[in-house]
Structure 1
Amino acid sequence: MDDLRKLVRIVTNRGQKNFPLLELKNKSTNKEVDLFNKIKSGQCETDQQAAALMYKSKPNDPRIKMLKSRLRKKLLNHLFFLDFTDQSLKISHRYEQQSLTLLYQARTLMNEGENATSAGLLRTALDFAQEAEFTQIVIDCYQLLLENYSLSASNKDFYKTKNILAKYRAIAALEQEAADLYYTSRLELNKSVSAKNKYLEKLKVVVQKLEELWKKTHSATIFDYYYKLNISLHELTGNFAEILKTTALSEELLQKGKINKKRFDDRYNKFINVYAYLRVKEYEKGLQAAASFVQVFNRSTNNWFAFMENYFLLAMHAGVYEQASKLYAEVMRNTFYKKISRSAQERWSLYGTYLYFVNPSDEVLKQSNYRKLISQVPEYSKDKQGFNVAILILQYMYFVRAQDIDALGYRIESLKKYAGRHLTHQLSKRNLLLFKMLMLLVKEDLDYTQSKKKGETLLQRLKTTPVPGDAYAEIEIIPYEHLWTLILEMLKE
């Protein structure tokens, strides 16, 4: 009871006069709660809307400025009471937040002279931080304990803690070195394609250095840096077979307890594993893996929709269109579909339109943006980067099926224009080869026999041209070899 009496005294003496949180459950609302609710419902998206709705005034009104300031402060206070028990979150977030909360409380109690109570909280924070290997939080806890023991003249505990702290500081120094390497690389990899190319040789050296640092320390933080950059390196060079090895090895290390389960993102490992199967064209293995992994992703999250994209594309590339239709329908029925980003919805619409071509049904036609995509020739845009070619090809197939030579002639000009501007990189060879094959169709007046005969050389070249690394690749929703077969079948019919 003694510790509770002390806490009551501190809260009584230091408690704020005005309630520091939003009283969201009260039936009677004040201005702050009213503005909160209006922002939440989407009524207030601009300063102009907020000022008009709250005070029938303009944004420069001092009242709306003060109201926004009060709301901001209270919302920041709510950050201390967020719920991190959601299973869709990374488990490491829960441990980190719990450790930081206890650390903050312990520091506050020390400032109030309550060292004994503070020490108990610090030990609990230390347990959380050590379990999840948050080295810097561990150091902060030990430093406060060191201060605590010095004030309470705990000689034995002080020197024992000092020795432990020295070991963690040595690990932290290596983690900082790794962090500098990692974040510098991330910066370089966020630049243009040519800049990424120039950095690739340095990236190989960085990955090797991070691996050495991890083997030296067995730090969860360093392993995370090494793992992510290793995946990026292989992805950028199109070496997806190595990604499969990396994901398998990481899973093995996880099962053997050699990497921390509280820190390693096993869901991402499963996601990238399925993606790598897609890129190495091991479709059957990929579909088996996707079927076994899908349950670990929460259906209400963006991660589930991203995982389902790879699952769907595996089915499309494997030619199991009935399964692709079931996956597409499952995505469309998910009530959270409307909450994913506009670009993600556009991708699914495009997938649905391709699906309609290979496995037509009224349901797919209704759910996809088929007519809109067919009617509008896309101008190159960064929001559709990776899908501009897919849209042009889709439109081309539509007019092949309709045997509309005039429209195809216009699309040929669009293909030439796009290729001249955006497919000059050597890693765009597959797109260029397909474009040549599509142009051949028009040249041969959609004649099946001549198109098949004269397109054979280009088809063989296409089969031997590998898909480039992710940084440069346009998405092949259906492999180009399969597309050519599909188009020839249209001509034959």
Structure 2
Amino acid sequence: MEIIRDLVDLVSRNKLKSVELLGQAEKGRISMVNSLYFKIASGEFLSDEEAAQYYFGASPADNGYRKLKNRLKNRLINAVFFIDTKQAGYTDWDRAYITCCKEWAAVKILLNRGASKIAIDLALKIFKHAQHFQFSELLVNISKMLRLYYSTRQPDARKLKYYDELHATYVKLWQSENLAEDLYIKLVYSHLFDKNQATPGPSMAKAYYEQLQPLMAEQRSYHFLRHVYLLKIAALMSEGNFIETAIACEEAITALGEMEFLAPQALLTFLYQKLVCHIQLKDYPAGRCVVERALELEREGSYNWYKNRELCLLLALHTRNYQEAFSIWQQASQHPSFKQLGQRPDEQWKIYEAWLHFLIFIGKLSPPQEGSSSKFRINKFLNEVPTFSKDKRGMNIPILIIQILFIIAQKRYDLVISRMEAIDRYCSRYLKHDENYRSNVFIRLLLQIPKAHFHPKTVLERADRYLNLLHQNPLQISPQGHEIEIIPFEDLWEMTLEGLGKRKY
């Protein structure tokens, strides 16, 4: 059902005339194929079990249901070729790529059926578009076909030499692009998936970048430069060198901006990386400039738009612009498309909501409307984040920290004491001297509060050691992600001490 739902969503989003494409029913009645399409599109059917029971009173293994589902799947795949790329949301690059792929498929079919003249005429048209947009794989395949055509079916020495030389050039380009992509994939895999291996660190990214750097003088294509600069930025960011990383991001943006076509997706990638640098460096003015540049390339309500809002919110939190952060969260969470976000992004925004309401609770920001803070329930929030709760070294950390801070701010000291033993074990088991080292230190810092019996002077005495460790490992050079340290720990510690200072003894 998941594959069918994805196809239905694609067809629906592109506003195709689904009834016509799926086939008209006889005598004005809706066919079972169309009926299944509309019920999946409307959300009435979410599983194979529901659909099979409705139509056949049987299980998904029923032969009749499997045939019905396969007919719908095949018609939806055919419908993909009728996507209208003129509608909003498609860049020039998207339109050119989809058109070239469809027409190249037509060329292959025409050649197979012996219509070589019209096939070559269409291939030459595709070739010009592919050259402009640097579709290297298509360039390799089309130049290969043209070379063969002008050597056998219509011999032409001049054209053969021309396309033979182009073929050699594009093969070399394609190989360079594949190498760059391959090295980038290896780096990402080592970082995200190969948990048994040590964190790759800057050495792997730097080695990969240095391997590709000599090719940059000759190869300046979009795909090649994009992956080369991603590797360079990964190396610099792993070293905590955010100033140089921001410079490298601007280099990438400049290089891609020199292309004959605009590649918004790639530009946004490097703008976001640059914005991360400004978050780490707590440079709000420069960060806001990046945000405005990125917004010009984004469609409101799109995935990139939410990514922009998320990074802008973090920039505001890291630079103590708390009212701005709340406004950004409100703008994103109240957008009509917010409910369409997946589970993980939705949980991420719930975490930001918790932190903002913590700031409201301690009086660091005022919500625009009275009483809005009362709608938030910390216990409900904790029960609604099952995905991150399993990630002991990742996004479970800000959840754990916000839980501690809330109960300290609420002065529920008995509850703080009862939970500290479990939190202490958590630190010993999961938080080590790694990319989450600052989190480890900060939680240790919070543990000193009940050990000092919540007395501000004693807390300060016990906290001195851990504060020094935070200062020795500042966020600017820490590998810890900004998505984990949502508000800098130094700021959080000040807020916590302010609350303790108000306690009556």
| Pairwise TM-score range, normalised by the shorter structure | 0.7 to 0.9
| 2:248 corresponds to 1:246 | yes
Aligned equivalent of 1:465: 473
Q: CA RMSD in A?
A: 3.0
Q: Could you tell me how far apart the structure 1 residues matched to 2:482 and 2:194 are?
A: 14
Shift of 1:364: 4.8
Secondary structure (helix, strand or coil) at the match of 1:265 reads helix
Shift of 1:190: 3.0
Aligned equivalent of 2:373: 365
Shift of 1:383: 5.3
Aligned equivalent of 1:100: 101
Aligned equivalent of 1:276: 277
Distance 1:463 1:469, change over 3 A: closer
Per-residue deviation, residues 222-265 of structure 1 (Å, max 9, x unmatched) = 2122122223333344333332111111122234x268634871
Q: Could you tell me how far apart the structure 2 residues matched to 1:28 and 1:377 are?
A: 45
Shift of 1:206: 1.3
Aligned equivalent of 1:227: 229
Answer yes or no: is the 8 Å Cα contact 1:211–1:226 preserved in 2: yes
Letter aligned with residue 440 of structure 2: L
Aligned equivalent of 1:168: 170
Distance 1:192 1:268, change over 3 A: same
Distance 1:117 1:492, change over 3 A: same
Q: Could you tell me how far apart the structure 2 residues matched to 1:25 and 1:211 are?
A: 60
Aligned equivalent of 1:320: 321
Distance 1:23 1:237, change over 3 A: farther
Aligned equivalent of 2:33: 32
Shift of 1:384: 7.7
Q: Could you tell me how far apart the structure 2 residues matched to 1:310 and 1:130 are?
A: 35
- Among the aligned pairs, what percent are the same residue? 22
Distance 1:454 1:346, change over 3 A: same
Unaligned runs of 5+ in 2: 1-18, 360-364
Question: Which of residues 405, 419, 426 is equivalent to 2:427?
Answer: 419
Q: After alignment, is 326-335 or 441-450 more displaced?
A: 441-450
Distance 1:221 1:383, change over 3 A: same
Aligned equivalent of 1:490: 499
Distance 1:40 1:399, change over 3 A: same
Per-residue deviation, residues 128-177 of structure 1 (Å, max 9, x unmatched) = 11111112201222222234433234443333322322332333343344
| 2:30 corresponds to 1:22 | no
| 2:487 corresponds to 1:478 | yes
Aligned equivalent of 2:288: 287
Distance 1:24 1:402, change over 3 A: farther
Distance 1:259 1:178, change over 3 A: farther
Per-residue deviation, residues 327-361 of structure 1 (Å, max 9, x unmatched) = 11111221111011122222212212211222253
Answer yes or no: is the 8 Å Cα contact 1:207–1:229 preserved in 2: yes
Per-residue deviation, residues 19-64 of structure 1 (Å, max 9, x unmatched) = 9941489974211111112222223332221210122222232111
Q: Could you tell me how far apart the structure 2 residues matched to 1:32 and 1:146 are?
A: 45
Question: Which of residues 188, 191, 195 is equivalent to 1:189?
Answer: 191
Shift of 1:110: 2.5
Distance 1:141 1:262, change over 3 A: farther
Secondary structure (helix, strand or coil) at the match of 2:336 reads coil
Q: Could you tell me how far apart the structure 1 residues matched to 2:136 and 2:29 are?
A: 46
Q: Could you tell me how far apart the structure 1 residues matched to 2:203 and 2:294 are?
A: 34
Q: Could you tell me how far apart the structure 2 residues matched to 1:232 and 1:90 are?
A: 27
Aligned equivalent of 1:129: 130
Distance 1:85 1:342, change over 3 A: same
Distance 1:95 1:74, change over 3 A: same
Question: Which of residues 392, 403, 415 is equivalent to 1:395?
Answer: 403
Secondary structure (helix, strand or coil) at the match of 1:217 reads coil
Aligned equivalent of 1:381: 389
Aligned equivalent of 2:11: none
Letter aligned with residue 275 of structure 1: V
Q: Could you tell me how far apart the structure 1 residues matched to 2:489 and 2:320 are?
A: 12
| 2:435 corresponds to 1:433 | no
Aligned equivalent of 1:455: 463
Q: Could you tell me how far apart the structure 2 residues matched to 1:91 and 1:244 are?
A: 28
Letter aligned with residue 439 of structure 1: L
